[in-house]
Amino acid sequence: MGRSFGILSFVVGAAVLAAVVWWVRTSEPARREEEVRPPYVLPVTLAEVTRGDLAPVARITGTVRSPAQAKLAFQTRGVVAALGVRAGDRIEVGSELARLDSREEELLLAAAVAGLGLAERELDKLRAGERVEVIDRLEAERDVVRAEEEIAAVEVARGAKLVTDRVISQAGLDRLMAVHSAAVARTESVDHRLSEALAGARTEDLAIAEAKVEVARSAVALAQEAVARTVLWSPVNGVVLRRFVAVGDYLPVGQPALEVVDLTEIEVELEIPPRFAARITDGAHVRLRMDEFEGFELAAILDVQIPVADLRSRNFRGLVRLPASESRSAALKPGMFVRVDLALAIEKHALLVPADSIRITEAGPIVVRAKETEAPDGMPVLTAEWVPVRVLASEGGTSAVEPLGGTLRAGERVIVTGVDLAFEGAPLVVRDREAR
């Protein structure tokens, strides 16, 4: 047992001795290597900051559509009696597309026309006054009643004398006076009717008759409109896209019957992100391209920018209007997808840097300036210095920036390759001195 313990102690001691020897031999070169190793430097490429103008372009998408594409419906209910077009048919403004059964509306129109005729005849009668025959009859009747009145007056005078002479009683005289009073009343009645006949219709009666004529005319107009609503007319020069009904279908008011599209004019609807919307100028130039047609390009002008964002996408809408008669526009059909290069406002006299020199940090975008300093031995060295910036625009690998903290001047250099590794004060070594 004691012998085994001695052997174990010997082995352990030998191992410790070997470890000490190995450490001594390996640590000394490492210390010497550390003494001669150069300090940490970051290899970079640099580019010069310049000042100039930048014309940025927004690359967005759009959809070709027709400004006059609509689903047509009747403005009245009824049964479809005729369909004059099919999907794909060419149509013109004012051509008849479909018709409802209009028998009920036509009967109502006939009744309204008859009512108007009756009202007009009554008005003509009032304006013409009484006929000559009626006036002659009234004048003859007036002569008769006046003669009767005169006879009754003579009888009353004679009766009064006879009462005095006691030939007749007072009761007989009263009867004679009653006959005279009746004759006087008849005379006044005939005179009044004759005066009315000679004077013609009263102003009030004419006004009432004229109002009845206007009411009848309005009824005719309404009936005509009801008949017209049973016919569906084309509002555009274009094509029938689809039919939704067949002959015999019952249609309530407003249910679509046909869909049509106007192909004489087309427009491209653009989806403009908010970051571009504020930088679009009036009459901005656009260039349209299509993936389906290689080499197709069409230059145009932005006609409309709608200044209200969509509540869902938060994008703004723009419209490029194109006459379909142009040979290049003829390739664009409603529903097609297009790519759009939209020219934005030019950034004038701005600081320009390579787009790859901009680094995005949690605090925002920065560029890293290569700052020249002096080493302890008097030799010039480059160190990294962060400069927060605001990116104004980018195009073709170049960005226009505005420094937010500190200064950035034209002629200074910024890091391009290695910008993501550069920390504040990091020593730099230029890997490619020709990069500017």
User: Could you please report the per-residue DSSP string of 304-371?
Assistant: EEESS--TTT-PEEEEEEEETTSTTGGG--TT-EEEEEEE---EEEEEEEEGGGEEEETTEEEEEEEE
Q: In CATH, which of 3.40.50.720, 2.40.420.20, 3.30.420.40, 3.10.20.340 is domain 42-53+348-432?
A: 2.40.420.20
Cα–Cα distance for residue pair 353/364, rounded to 1 Å: 17
Cα–Cα distance for residue pair 27/36, rounded to 1 Å: 14
Do residues 426 and 384 lie in contact, with contact meaning Cβ atoms separated by under 8 Å?
Answer: yes
Cα–Cα distance for residue pair 343/272, rounded to 1 Å: 12
Q: How far is CA 9 from the centre of its chain?
A: 97
Q: Is the pLDDT of residue 30 over 60?
A: no
- Number of helices followed by number of strands (H, E) in the chain: 6, 24
Q: In CATH, which of 2.30.40.10, 3.40.190.10, 3.40.50.2000, 2.40.50.100 is domain 74-99+229-261?
A: 2.40.50.100
**CATH number listed for the domain at residues 59-67+263-343:** 2.40.30.170
Give the pLDDT of residue 34. Answer: 47
Give the whole-number percent of the chain exceeding pLDDT 90.
44
For residues 218 and 264, the model is more confident at 218
Cα–Cα distance for residue pair 82/257, rounded to 1 Å: 12
If one counts every other C-beta atom within 10 angstroms of the C-beta of residue 428, the result is 22
**What are 69-115's pLDDT values in tens digits?**
899 999 999 999 999 999 989 999 999 999 999 999 999 999 999 99
Q: Which residue has the tokens 């015999």?
A: 248
Do residues 416 and 368 lie in contact, with contact meaning Cβ atoms separated by under 8 Å?
Answer: no
Q: Is the pLDDT of residue 9 over 90?
A: no
- Determine whether 354 is exposed, middle or buried from the number of CB atoms within 10 Å of its CB (0-12, 13-18, 19+): buried
**What are 375-393's pLDDT values in tens digits?**
666 577 889 999 999 999 9
Cα–Cα distance for residue pair 7/2, rounded to 1 Å: 9
Give the pLDDT of residue 45. Answer: 93
- Determine whether 62 is exposed, middle or buried from the number of CB atoms within 10 Å of its CB (0-12, 13-18, 19+): buried
Least trusted range by pLDDT, from 147-156, 240-249, 424-433? 147-156
Q: What is the mean pLDDT of residues 277-298?
A: 88
Do residues 405 and 351 lie in contact, with contact meaning Cβ atoms separated by under 8 Å?
Answer: no
